[in-house]
């Protein structure tokens, strides 16, 4: 089968906001405890953080990590996580039916962010709590010494403000599962007043208001409209979440799901524009897609704990999806969608980062390794920075549940003007046939292939596990060539590609 990709130097979507390669870390299962933090581990640093995990995280060059939740944040008392660690209370976590000894809190998280060279995106609790705790938390984190909260932070060992600029106003407040769920109007009011108070402290903060938990919510997209009517000029981003499942074991339908994601983003973009027009506002609100990933492999095994039949375990194995080769293709398609929508999506967070639906897994006392999905995230984060090109893609396609004529070829391209490179991210959704792709590049010099990384040739259910950590890994590609000054590449059935050319 054949496909054609046309690109023009001046036909661009947007300069990509690097923050679309961000991640999320929640106090959930083993994400924090025995994920990033394991004081007894042979690689633990002086703060009890695993150095082997930190290295895998650092390699990803992650711009921001969202913390501490998630559903967890909606009943979280941030004060429990500060002060002498051995005096912190153990609390029951109502979101995940577990307990948390609070050994990690905002100080430990901040130190870890420094170690892994990332920035904090913090969430305030607007579920069980509200404006007052939010402003106190903000003052504790960013306030000057000489004030009550600033002095307390100093007493706890950090005189300098942490200077966190990006804040989420609650989490998934539309969800019936959320502690303190609200109607759109209730949440809109609380979010507005909280934003007002936080801005009174620092008008330069970037604030993220909750959109729908997913696009199948009954209240979507009215939720977005109402919440934005209340908050539009006081916030900067509206948060969306989406998880992808192949419970039905239908690969064609599964790999078409980024079309649903694309429609979701488009609808919320229209809603933002509607409210902006209604308000005669000049202010621009963008999308923070701050939870996305494949999530379904662990649903069955998690039931015992989530239904409350295991007591209140501390850091149990929860949401530990073991990703396969099929998920590599899916994660590649999802990230391509964010690149193609980079005009409106300014933040996106893979959910999550370690152990919990995560690209990195750990064994207590043992190794840390890369899941299959680490690689498409890695390639995008490292090479997907620059300007998104608006490609014209001609590819044969197939009809799926969520869309007709889904192209077998999913493609995105990023132009790095300073380096003089274009990086293509390509997925062949066809499991039977190869795709011969011919590129037509306009306004660039003659292309020279400088790198081609391929993940292909595995059974769809192939995984990387504790015992077999390297089953699914990228290999150097051999099928990209320049013929008569034109770039061509052969994509084998079910394959992921990162193809870089100097132009
Ligand atoms: O990432 C797991 C959970 O998914 C988060 O806590 C919540 O926000 C979402 O429902």
Mean pLDDT across 262-266? 98
How far the first Cα of the chain sits from its last, in Å, is: 27
Q: pLDDT per residue over 425-468, tens digit each?
A: 999 999 999 999 999 999 999 999 999 999 999 999 999 999 99
3-class secondary structure, 251 = helix
For residue 417, indicate whether it is catalytic.
no
pLDDT for residue 463:
98
Q: Residue 106 — pLDDT band, cuts 50, 70, 90?
A: very high
68 neighbors 76 (Cβ within 8 angstroms): yes
Same domain, yes or no: 378 and 430: no
Q: Residue 482 — pLDDT band, cuts 50, 70, 90?
A: very high
Give the position, in ligand 1's atom list, of the atom nearest the Cα of 95. 6
- The rounded mean pLDDT for the chain is 98
DSSP characters for 150-189? HHHHHHTT--S-----EEEE-S-TT-TTSTT---HHHHHH
Instruction: State residue 393 phi and psi, 5-degree precision.
Output: -115, 125
> Which H or E element spans position 98?
strand 98-100
* b/e map 8-47, b = 16+ CB within 10 Å: eeeebbbebbbbbbbbbbbbbbbbbbbbbbbeebeeeeee
Whole-angstrom distance, CA of residue 491 vs CA of residue 329: 13
Q: Which residue's CA is the closest to the ligand 1 atom numbered 6?
A: 70
Same domain, yes or no: 379 and 445: no
Q: Residue 236 — pLDDT band, cuts 50, 70, 90?
A: very high
For residue 363, indicate whether it is catalytic.
no
Same domain, yes or no: 427 and 283: no
Q: Residue 501 — pLDDT band, cuts 50, 70, 90?
A: very high
Q: Which token pair is 220?
A: 């979507």
pLDDT for residue 432:
98
Ligand 1 pocket by Cβ (under 6 Å): 26, 69-71, 171-172, 241, 291, 351-352
Same domain, yes or no: 361 and 421: no
**Is the dihedral angle over the CA atoms 190, 195, 197, 198 positive or is it negative?**
positive
User: Which residue range(s) make up the domain with 81?
Assistant: 17-383
Residue whose C-alpha is closest to residue 72's, from 211, 179, 167: 179
Given 325, 353, 383, the domain boundary residue is: 383
pLDDT for residue 450:
98
Given 361, 383, 405, the domain boundary residue is: 383
List the beta bridge partners of residue 348.
289
DSSP symbol at 472: S
pLDDT for residue 73:
98
Q: Which residue's CA is the closest to the ligand 1 atom numbered 2?
A: 70
Tell the residue number behind the tokens 């706890």, with chain if given: 156
Residue whose C-alpha is closest to residue 84's, from 148, 21, 155: 155
Q: pLDDT per residue over 166-214, tens digit each?
A: 999 999 999 999 999 999 999 999 999 999 999 999 999 999 999 999 9
Whole-angstrom distance, CA of residue 253 vs CA of residue 473: 25
pLDDT for residue 274:
98
> Which H or E element spans position 228?
helix 222-231
Please, what's the largest Cα pairwise distance for the chain? 70
Q: Which of 296, 351, 353, 356 to mutate to test the pocket of ligand 1 (most atoms within 8 A of CB)?
A: 351
Whole-angstrom distance, CA of residue 240 vs CA of residue 107: 28
Cα(101) to centroid(ligand 1), Å: 20
Domains in the chain: how many in total? Answer: 2
Q: Return the ∠ at Cα 320 (arms to 34 and 168), rounded to 5°.
A: 80
Same domain, yes or no: 307 and 435: no
199 neighbors 227 (Cβ within 8 angstroms): no
pLDDT above 90 coverage of the chain, percent: 100
Cα(85) to centroid(ligand 1), Å: 26
Mean pLDDT across 68-77? 98
Same domain, yes or no: 136 and 40: yes
Whole-angstrom distance, CA of residue 194 vs CA of residue 188: 10
Show the 3-state SS of 102-152.
CCCCHHHHHHHHHHCCCEEEEEECCCCCCHHHHHHHHHHHHCCECEHHHHH
Q: pLDDT per residue over 37-72, tens digit each?
A: 999 999 999 999 999 999 999 999 999 999 999 999
Cα(41) to centroid(ligand 1), Å: 28
Can you say how many angstroms the Cα of residue 198 is from the centroid of all Cα atoms in its chain?
Answer: 25
Same domain, yes or no: 365 and 398: no
Q: What is the CATH number of the domain that holds 69?
A: 3.20.20.80
Same domain, yes or no: 448 and 365: no
Same domain, yes or no: 193 and 313: yes
Cα(208) to centroid(ligand 1), Å: 16
Q: What is the CATH number of the domain that holds 401?
A: 2.60.40.1180
Given 365, 383, 401, the domain boundary residue is: 383
DSSP symbol at 35: T
Same domain, yes or no: 285 and 321: yes
Q: Which of 26, 66, 217, 353 to mutate to test the pocket of ligand 1 (most atoms within 8 A of CB)?
A: 26
Q: Return the ∠ at Cα 461 (arms to 458 and 464), rounded to 5°.
A: 80
Whole-angstrom distance, CA of residue 320 vs CA of residue 150: 38
Same domain, yes or no: 401 and 357: no
Mean pLDDT across 298-322? 97
Pairing of strands 397-398, 406-407: antiparallel
Report yes or no on whether pTM surpasses 0.85. Answer: yes
pLDDT for residue 184:
98
Q: Which of 73, 181, 291, 318 to mutate to test the pocket of ligand 1 (most atoms within 8 A of CB)?
A: 291
Whole-angstrom distance, CA of residue 176 vs CA of residue 165: 29
Cis peptide leading into residue 455 (ω within 30°): no
Tell the residue number behind the tokens 């009809």, with chain if given: 399
pLDDT for residue 223:
98
181 Cβ contact partners less than 8 Å away, ≥ 6 residues apart: 127, 173, 174, 175
Same domain, yes or no: 287 and 404: no
């Amino acid at each position: 089968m054949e496909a054609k990709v046309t690109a023009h130097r001046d036909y661009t979507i947007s300069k990509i906001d690097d923050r679309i390669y961000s991640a999320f870390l929640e106090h959930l299962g083993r994400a924090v405890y025995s994920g990033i933090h394991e004081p007894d581990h042979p690689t633990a640093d002086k703060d009890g953080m695993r150095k082997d995990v930190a290295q895998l995280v650092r390699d990803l060059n992650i711009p921001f990590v969202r913390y501490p939740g998630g559903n967890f944040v909606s009943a979280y008392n941030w004060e429990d996580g500060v002060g002498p660690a051995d005096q912190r209370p153990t609390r029951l976590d109502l979101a995940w039916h577990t307990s948390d000894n609070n050994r990690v809190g905002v100080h430990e998280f901040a130190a870890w962010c420094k170690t892994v060279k990332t920035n904090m995106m913090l969430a305030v609790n607007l579920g069980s709590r509200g404006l007052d705790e939010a402003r106190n938390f903000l003052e504790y984190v960013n306030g000057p010494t000489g004030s009550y909260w600033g002095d307390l932070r100093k007493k706890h060992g950090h005189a300098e403000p942490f200077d966190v600029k990006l804040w989420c106003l609650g989490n998934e407040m539309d969800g019936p599962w959320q502690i303190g769920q609200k109607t759109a109007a209730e949440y809109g009011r609380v979010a507005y007043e909280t934003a007002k108070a936080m801005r009174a402290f620092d008008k330069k903060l970037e604030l993220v208001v909750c959109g729908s938990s997913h696009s199948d919510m009954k209240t979507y997209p009215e939720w977005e409209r109402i919440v934005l009517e209340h908050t539009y000029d006081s916030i900067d981003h509206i948060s969306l979440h989406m998880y992808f499942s192949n419970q039905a074991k239908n690969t064609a339908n599964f790999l078409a799901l980024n079309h649903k994601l694309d429609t979701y983003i488009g609808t919320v973009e229209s809603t933002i524009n509607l409210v902006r027009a209604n308000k005669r506002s000049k202010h621009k609100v963008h999308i923070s897609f701050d939870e996305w990933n494949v999530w379904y492999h662990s649903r069955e095994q998690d039931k015992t704990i989530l239904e409350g039949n295991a007591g209140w375990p501390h850091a149990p194995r929860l949401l530990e999806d073991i990703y396969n080769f099929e998920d590599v293709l899916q994660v590649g398609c999802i990230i391509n969608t964010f690149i193609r929508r980079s005009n409106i999506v300014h933040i996106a967070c893979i959910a999550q980062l370690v152990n919990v639906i995560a690209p990195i897994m750990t064994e207590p006392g043992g190794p840390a390794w890369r899941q299959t999905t680490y690689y498409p995230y890695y390639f995008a984060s490292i090479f997907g920075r620059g300007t998104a090109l608006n490609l014209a893609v001609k590819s044969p396609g197939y009809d799926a549940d969520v869309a007709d004529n889904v192209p077998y070829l999913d493609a995105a391209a990023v132009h790095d003007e300073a380096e003089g490179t274009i990086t293509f991210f390509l997925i062949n959704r066809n499991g039977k046939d190869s795709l011969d792709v011919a590129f037509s590049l306009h306004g660039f010099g003659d292309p020279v292939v400088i790198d081609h990384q391929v993940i292909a040739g595995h059974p769809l259910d192939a995984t990387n596990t504790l015992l077999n950590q390297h089953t699914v890994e990228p290999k150097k590609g051999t099928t990209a060539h320049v013929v008569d000054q034109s770039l061509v590449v052969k994509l084998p059935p079910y394959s992921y590609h990162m193809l870089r050319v100097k132009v």
